[in-house]
Amino acid sequence: MIKLHGFAVSNYFNMVNFVLLTKNIEHQLVATFPSQQDDFLLKSPRGMVPFIETEEGFISETSAIIEYLDQCYPTPALLPQAPFELAKVRELARMIELYIELPARRLYGELLFNKPADPETKKHVQASLTKGIKAIASLATFSPYTCGEQLSIADVYLYFSLTLANKVSIELLDQDLLKQIPSAKTTLELLEQLPAINQINLATKEALASFSKR
Ligand SMILES: N[C@@H](CCC(=O)N[C@@H](CS)C(=O)NCC(=O)O)C(=O)O
């Protein structure tokens, strides 16, 4: 059985868990935190979570894990077969990761763990998010999913990255990103109705509560 290592506050962990749940893949969650210990690096060479444990070995990096799962468990498919459509889905997922998730991540410390970021960092994050949202708005169709009629990995990145990035943006930068990309709202609401999202959001809430108690 596939084991997913990580923790429920992690966006990336939640993305992989979403794919496992959506595809109904039997799996086990193993609470694991990032580490630079030698034995950990054998499983996840950059010392990060998530990573999965399969009968053939370990895989780290969310996009590699998701693509592996999509090939091994093709239903429902989260990546199109046709090369152009496949490239467009990957293009969008990549843009969300690089230009939304990664800049917003620089302020997660302040949002989640009360570690204030300096004003210069905030300025950079705001500028990056504005450009990132513009790019996504021009690529995505949101009809009704991010890349058209089928749920795809672009939706996985959109939901988990944009939701948290917008929280960062509203609370710390006084800017609602969804105002720049209003059609994303309908797609996010559609995704919110999926049982897998509901289950993951509950687990994240519980994990955050126990994080803040520590
Ligand atoms: N590129 C990685 C990023 C994963 C990531 O940032 N994981 C965080 C937890 S959410 C982590 O393990 N951080 C530890 C570190 O930065 O050393 C992926 O796609 O899986």
Number of the ligand 1 atom closest to the C-alpha atom of 50: 20
Q: Helical H runs in the chain?
A: 11-22, 38-41, 62-72, 83-96, 102-105, 108-113, 119-139, 153-157, 163-173, 183-192, 195-213
Number of the ligand 1 atom closest to the C-alpha atom of 63: 19
User: In angstroms, rounded to a whole number, what is the distance separating the alpha carbons of residues 13 and 10?
Assistant: 5
CA of 18 to the centre of ligand 1 (A): 17
Q: What domains, with CATH codes, occur in the chain?
A: 2-72 (3.40.30.10), 83-213 (1.20.1050.10)
CA of 139 to the centre of ligand 1 (A): 26
Ligand 1: residues with CB < 6 A are 10-12, 34, 47-50, 61-62
Find the mean pLDDT for residues 168-196: 96
Q: Is the pLDDT of residue 213 over 70?
A: no
Which residues, including other chains, have CB under 8 Å from residue 141's CB and lie 6 or more apart?
147, 148
For a substitution probing ligand 1, which of 48, 100, 160 has the most ligand atoms within 8 Å of its CB? 48
Give the residue, by CA position, lying nearest to ligand 1 atom 11.
Answer: 48
CA of 31 to the centre of ligand 1 (A): 14
Environment class of residue 209 by beta-carbon count within 10 Å: exposed (0-12), middle (13-18) or buried (19+)? exposed
pLDDT (tens digit, 9 = 90+) per residue, 52-101?
999 999 999 999 999 999 999 999 999 999 999 999 999 999 999 999 99
Look at residue 208 in the predicted model and tell me its pLDDT. Answer: 84
CA of 48 to the centre of ligand 1 (A): 5
Give the residue, by CA position, lying nearest to ligand 1 atom 6.
Answer: 48
Give the residue, by CA position, lying nearest to ligand 1 atom 2.
Answer: 61
CA of 61 to the centre of ligand 1 (A): 8
pLDDT (tens digit, 9 = 90+) per residue, 89-134?
999 999 999 999 999 999 999 988 889 999 999 999 999 999 999 9
Instruction: Choose among 102, 82, 86, 76: nearest CA to 161.
Output: 102
**Model confidence, pTM:** 0.96
